[in-house]
Structure formats: C-alpha cells, structure tokens
C-alpha cells in the first residue's frame, strides 16, 4: 500500500510537524518525515493538527437537533422540567433520527468519541436506550459511543428503575448512572448501594450526575470516593457536574480532592453558564482527572449548543479565567486526552502505532485554537481525507518523501 506523508503542519505547541501513515496507522511523527522512497504527499499548509475530540458527557436522546426549533419553556422545579421534557420528546421526530443528526453534527466538528447518557426509568423502560443503540450502530468504526444508563427520574424514588439499570447494562450500556442521591432520591445510601452494586457485579463503569450544592454535595463526593476505593474501582468512576466544588471554600475543595484523587474518581464539567462549577486547575493540581463534555444540546433543558468540543473548551477556558497558553492547553486536554482516558479509549492520540485519525484546523498552536475556536475543520480518518479535507489532496503528487 502507498504510504501517505502529511507535511507542513504544526503541533499543539506550534512546532513543525509531519505525519507518515501506513495502512491507516501512524508510522512516524516528527518535524521531518523519514526517507520512504515513494509516498503520497499531502501539504497541510500550516494547519494545526490535533487528535479527534472526545465529548465526555452528552445526551443523544434529548436533543432536538435534526428537528424544528423548540422555544425554551421555563420550569419552576426539576419534576416540572421532567414533565415538559417527556411531553416535548413525545411530539418530536423519532429519537434514533435525532440522535443520528447530533452525532453527525459533532463528528463534522471533529469529535471521534463520546459518552452519552440515556434516560432509563420505569415509564420509558429501555426504549431510549434501544433507539440510541441503533443510532450508535450506524457510526460504529467512525465515532466511538459509550452509553450510560441514566436514571433521570431517580433510582430509589422511581420504583422499578434500579432493576432497569441492571437490565440496561446487560443489554449493552457500558456505564451505570446515578443522580443526586440525597436531594432527588432522598436515599443516598440506597442509591449508591444499587449503582455500585450493579457496576461491581457486571463490570460496568459509573458516572453519577451530582448537582447537590455546598457541603452536602462535598459530603456526597466523599461517599462516592469511599465506595470507589473500597471496591477497587479506581479509574472507573466519574462524577458529572459536581457543582458543590465551585460553592465551597478552597480548604474544603482540597480535602475532598485528595480523597477523589486517592480513589481514582474523575470529575466532568461543561462550565455551565449560570452556575458555579469545579475549579479545574486546583483539582488537577491535586491529581484529580478532570474532563469535559457538552452536556445538553438544544433540548428542553436549554437552547444552546452545537456539539463542537473545541468551542466547549473555549467556554471552559473563558469561564475559568484561563489566559496563558499553558492554561488554554488544559482546556484542550479536557476535550481530548483527559476524556479519552476516562472513557478508556485504546490507541487514542497522535502517537506512532495509533490510528491516523486527526483534525486539521487553521490555528498556529493549540492555545490559539482554544481561544478562537475556528470553525473550519478538516478531518482525516485512518489517513484518508473526509469531506472537505479532500481539498488538501486535490492535485497532490506521489514523489520521494
């Protein structure tokens, strides 16, 4: 098979970069390509090359992408919000098609993997899971999609849901979810018993939505860390949102951060627009894995979002007050390598031997890409141009590299 060499690119630091690809995998990476004899040469014209983005938290079953515009409807309580959501989704086009449309949109921005939370409760059963699984199948080998059985309506307070969570994992969900064990469910120990029990028995990962504020939220994080450590689940448990970490004094953050790091519990944030959120750098300095996701995209929860993880990295940096190049690269890492590690993706990143799947975009380095989130994206999958990326290979030559 003819080798393909990508030249005249830059890496995250702005350093000149070339990639040599053979059989869809990276054969060599560096400032200059090795001597290979004849190879097909693609000039990337000074574009920045990044690994594909990873969306660590999305809701494929809720989005109206692919449907008409749905004006936002205010709600006074969580239960009222859930009722609005069920009503609106019942009148929307089939879930599989909407999920497919959102995956396609995210993939066009350069996302190559995602973790999608999918509602599982006593009223919907496993219908949402089956619909998103069908959409996932269409993208197999293109976008790696990990599914979370998410008990949006509660575990203990919604009879029958706990058994459905276990059934969901047995039918193909990769992760068992939880939500606000105290404030929504009213039974923290009961919910955590069920969620951790399912994960321990079936070998699933855990990802718990935690919106509980202030010190009660911090206490919940400590419970989750203790259970994770006791069961030896380090690296397999994540807490999404963890708003409490943005509510409390630094000393309280530091104390629970040590527990989270010691237990191997990761934190996901999307830097929501109207809420305090975890202090990213403080947690990372303590050894906590912090990753990013888009969360809800154009659904009944809020009207914002387009599936672009580079834009999400920009928003995280903006809200966190990231100004230096090093800080901006942290936001980029949260949307790429950190998420890949939490999802457990094999062969991710621009390394020799890995699949040659990457994004090229007009930016001088990774920090500049986060700050501006340039819209043009050119995706190469296994070394082959996808869509508009073919413009780089038009008129290209095969010559000694």
Buried b / exposed e over 56-65, threshold 16 CB at 10 Å, is bbbbbbbbbb
| pLDDT of 325 higher than 70 | yes
| pLDDT of 152 higher than 50 | yes
| pLDDT of 1 higher than 70 | no
Q: How confident is the model at residue 39 (pLDDT cuts 50, 70, 90)?
A: confident
Average pLDDT, the chain: 95
DSSP conformation letters of 258-288? HHHHHHTEEEEE---TTS----HHHHHHTT-
Q: What per-residue confidence (pLDDT) applies to 71? A: 95
- Residues 2-24: tens digit of each pLDDT: 689 999 999 999 999 999 999 99
Q: What per-residue confidence (pLDDT) applies to 123? A: 87
Q: 10 Å Cβ neighbour count for 76?
A: 7
Residue ranges in 9-148 assigned as alpha helix (H): 78-91, 95-108, 127-138
Q: How confident is the model at residue 34 (pLDDT cuts 50, 70, 90)?
A: confident
DSSP conformation letters of 303-363? S---S-HHHHHHHHHHHHT--SHHHHHHHHHHTTHHHHHHHT-TT-SS-TTSB--EEEES-
- Residues 88-133: tens digit of each pLDDT: 999 999 999 999 999 999 999 999 999 999 999 988 999 999 999 9
| pLDDT of 401 higher than 50 | no
Q: How confident is the model at residue 393 (pLDDT cuts 50, 70, 90)?
A: confident
Radius of gyration, CA atoms only, the chain: 22
Q: What per-residue confidence (pLDDT) applies to 334? A: 98
* Model pTM above 0.85: yes
Contact 289, 342 (CB under 8 A): yes
Q: How confident is the model at residue 33 (pLDDT cuts 50, 70, 90)?
A: confident
């Amino acid at each position: 098979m003819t080798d393909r060499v990508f030249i005249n690119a830059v890496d995250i630091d702005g350093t000149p970069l070339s990639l040599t690809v053979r059989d869809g995998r990276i054969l060599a990476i560096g400032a200059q390509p090795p001597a290979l004899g004849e190879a097909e040469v693609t000039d990337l014209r000074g574009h920045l090359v990044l690994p594909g983005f990873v969306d660590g938290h999305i809701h494929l079953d809720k989005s109206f992408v692919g449907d008409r515009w749905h004006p936002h409807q205010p709600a006074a309580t969580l239960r009222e919000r859930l009722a609005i959501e069920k009503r609106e989704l019942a009148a929307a086009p089939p879930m599989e098609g909407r999920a497919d449309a959102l995956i396609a949109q995210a993939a066009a921005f350069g996302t190559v993997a995602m973790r999608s939370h999918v509602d599982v409760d006593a009223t919907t059963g496993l219908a949402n899971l089956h619909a998103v699984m069908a959409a996932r199948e269409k993208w197999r080998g293109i976008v790696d999609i990990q599914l979370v059985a998410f008990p949006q309506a509660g575990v203990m307070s919604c009879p029958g849901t706990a058994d459905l969570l276990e059934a969901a994992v047995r039918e193909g969900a990769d992760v068992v979810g939880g939500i606000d064990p105290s404030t929504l469910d009213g039974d923290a120990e009961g919910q955590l018993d069920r969620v951790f029990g399912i994960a321990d028995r079936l070998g699933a990962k855990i990802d718990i939505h935690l919106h509980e504020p202030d010190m009660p939220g911090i206490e919940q994080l400590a419970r989750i860390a203790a259970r994770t450590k006791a069961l030896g689940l380090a690296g397999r448990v994540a807490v999404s949102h963890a708003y409490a970490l943005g509510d409390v004094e630094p000393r309280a953050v530091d104390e629970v951060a040590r527990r989270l790091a010691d237990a191997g519990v990761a934190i996901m944030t999307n830097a929501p627009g109207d809420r305090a959120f975890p202090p990213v750098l403080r947690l990372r300095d303590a050894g906590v894995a912090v990753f990013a996701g888009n969360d809800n995209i154009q659904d009944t929860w809020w009207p914002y979002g387009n599936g672009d993880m580079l834009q999400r990295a920009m928003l995280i940096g903006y809200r966190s007050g990231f100004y230096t190049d090093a800080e901006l690269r942290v936001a980029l890492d949260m949307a790429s390598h950190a998420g890949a590690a939490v999802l457990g993706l094999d062969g991710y990143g621009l390394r020799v031997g890995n699949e040659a799947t990457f994004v090229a975009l007009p930016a001088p380095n990774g920090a500049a890409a986060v700050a501006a989130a340039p819209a043009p994206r050119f995706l190469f999958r296994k070394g082959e141009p996808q869509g508009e990326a073919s413009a780089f290979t038009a008129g290209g030559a095969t010559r000694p590299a």
